[in-house]
Structure 1
Amino acid sequence: MNLLHEIFRQSPEIALFLSLAGGYAIGKIQFGKFQLGGVAGSLLVAVLISQVGVSIDNGVKSVLFALFIYAVGFESGPQFFRSLGRHSLREIAMAVVLAVSGLLTVVVLARMFGLDKGLAAGIAAGGLTQSAIIGTASAALGKLGLAADEVQRLQGNVAVGYAVTYIFGSFGAIIVCVNLLPKFMGRSIRDDAIKAEAEMLAGVQVYGPGQHPAAPDLVGRIYRVGAAAGRTVAEIEQTASEGSAFTIERVKRAGKLIGVQPQLKLRDGDTVLLVGRRAGVVAAAGSIGTEMQSSAGMDVVVVTRDVTINSPEFTGKMVAEIKASAGADLRHGIYVVGIKRADKPLPLALDTVIEAGDVVTLYGTDQDLQRAAKSIGTVIVPSDKTDFVFHGLGLVLGLLIGLIVVRIGSIPLTLGSGGGALLSGLLFGWYRSRNLAIGNMPTAASTLLRDLGLAGFVAVVGLQSGLQAVQTIATSGLSIFLIGVVVTILPLLITMLFGRYVLKYDNSAIFAGALAGSRSANPAFGEVLDKAGNSIPTTPFAITYALANVFLTLLGPLVVAFA
Structure 2
Amino acid sequence: MDILTSPYGALFLLSAIGIALGKIKFRNISLDTSAIFFVALFFGHLGVNIPIIIQQIGLIFFMYSIGIQAGPGFFESFKRGGVHLIYLALILGISGSIITIILAKIFNIDMLMAVGLFSGSLTSASSLAVTIENTHSALPSVGFGIAFPFGVIGVVLITRLSPQLFKIKIPIEEEKHIAEIRSVYPNLINKNFVAENPEIIGKTIAEIKLRQLTNTNISRIYQQNISFIPNAQTVIQKGDILRACGTKEDLFKLCSFIGSETHIQIPVNRKYIVRQFLVTNNKVINKSLGQLALLQMFNATVTTIRRSGIDIIPNANSRLRFGDKITIALPEENLVNVSELIGNNRKKLDEIDFFPIITGILIGVLISLIKIKLPFGITFTLGLTGGVLISGLLLSRIGKTGKIIWNVSGGSNQFMRKLGLIFFLSGVGTQAGSQIINVVKANGISLFVIGIAITVIPMFITLILGRYFFKLNFLTLLGALTGSMTSTPALSAIEPLTKTNAPQIAYATVYPFALIIIIILSQIIILF
1:89 matched to 2:87: yes
Task: Find the aligned partners of 2:286 and 2:11 in 1 and give their Cα distance.
Answer: 51
CA contact (8 A) 1:339 1:345 kept: yes
1:258 corresponds to which residue? none
Where 1:280 maps in the other structure, the secondary structure is coil
2:20 corresponds to which residue? 25
1:48 matched to 2:18: no
Shift of 1:385: 1.9
Q: Counterpart of 1:498 in structure 2: which amino acid?
A: I
Where 1:452 maps in the other structure, the secondary structure is helix
Q: Counterpart of 1:52 in structure 2: which amino acid?
A: L
1:174 corresponds to which residue? 152
TM-score (norm 2): 0.62
1:69 matched to 2:69: no
Indicate how the Cα distance of structure 1 residues 456 and 537 shifts in structure 2: closer, same or farther if over 3 A, else same: farther
Task: Find the aligned partners of 1:97 and 1:311 in 2 and give their Cα distance.
Answer: 39
Task: Find the aligned partners of 2:517 and 2:301 in 1 and give their Cα distance.
Answer: 42
Indicate how the Cα distance of structure 1 residues 410 and 179 shifts in structure 2: closer, same or farther if over 3 A, else same: farther
2:226 corresponds to which residue? 240
- From 9, 22, 28, the equivalent of 2:5 is 9
Indicate how the Cα distance of structure 1 residues 510 and 283 shifts in structure 2: closer, same or farther if over 3 A, else same: same
Q: Counterpart of 1:460 in structure 2: which amino acid?
A: G
- From 303, 314, 318, the equivalent of 1:338 is 303
1:120 corresponds to which residue? 110
C-alpha distance after superposition, 1:45-94 (max 9, x if no partner): 22222233212122322322332333233234323222114513332333
Indicate how the Cα distance of structure 1 residues 444 and 305 shifts in structure 2: closer, same or farther if over 3 A, else same: closer
CA contact (8 A) 1:126 1:166 kept: yes
Q: Counterpart of 1:170 in structure 2: which amino acid?
A: F
1:510 corresponds to which residue? 480
- From 407, 418, 431, the equivalent of 1:451 is 418
1:484 matched to 2:447: yes
Deviates more, 1:122-131 or 1:97-106: 122-131
Q: Counterpart of 2:226 in structure 1: which amino acid?
A: A
Where 1:55 maps in the other structure, the secondary structure is coil
Task: Find the aligned partners of 2:410 and 2:186 in 1 and give their Cα distance.
Answer: 23
Task: Find the aligned partners of 1:503 and 1:483 in 2 and give their Cα distance.
Answer: 30
1:497 matched to 2:467: no
Shift of 1:499: 0.9
Task: Find the aligned partners of 1:398 and 1:309 in 2 and give their Cα distance.
Answer: 27
CA contact (8 A) 2:33 2:421 kept: yes
Q: Counterpart of 2:482 in structure 1: which amino acid?
A: A
Task: Find the aligned partners of 1:542 and 1:430 in 2 and give their Cα distance.
Answer: 13
Task: Find the aligned partners of 2:413 and 2:58 in 1 and give their Cα distance.
Answer: 13
CA contact (8 A) 1:75 1:429 kept: yes
Indicate how the Cα distance of structure 1 residues 536 and 367 shifts in structure 2: closer, same or farther if over 3 A, else same: same
Shift of 1:134: 8.0
The structure with the larger Rg is: 1
Gaps of 5+ in 2: 120-126, 169-173, 188-221, 232-265, 496-503
The number of equivalent residue pairs is: 413
2:238 corresponds to which residue? none
Q: Counterpart of 2:44 in structure 1: which amino acid?
A: S
Where 2:301 maps in the other structure, the secondary structure is strand
Identity, in percent, stands at 19
C-alpha distance after superposition, 1:494-535 (max 9, x if no partner): 21111111134634343122124xxxxxxxx47568879989
CA contact (8 A) 1:495 1:515 kept: no
Q: After superposition, where does 1:176-255 map in structure 2 within 5 Å?
A: 176-184=154-162, 239-241=225-227
Task: Find the aligned partners of 1:431 and 1:408 in 2 and give their Cα distance.
Answer: 33
Q: Counterpart of 1:450 in structure 2: which amino acid?
A: R
Deviates more, 1:445-454 or 1:123-132: 123-132
C-alpha distance after superposition, 1:374-407 (max 9, x if no partner): 9xx7756541222322222222223433455655
Task: Find the aligned partners of 2:465 and 2:289 in 1 and give their Cα distance.
Answer: 45
Shift of 1:160: 7.7
Where 2:48 maps in the other structure, the secondary structure is coil
Shift of 1:466: 0.6
Task: Find the aligned partners of 1:126 and 1:45 in 2 and give their Cα distance.
Answer: 18
2:99 corresponds to which residue? 101
1:38 corresponds to which residue? 32
Indicate how the Cα distance of structure 1 residues 241 and 160 shifts in structure 2: closer, same or farther if over 3 A, else same: closer
Where 1:554 maps in the other structure, the secondary structure is helix
Shift of 1:36: 3.8
Gaps of 5+ in 1: 111-118, 139-157, 205-235, 246-277, 285-301, 517-524, 559-563
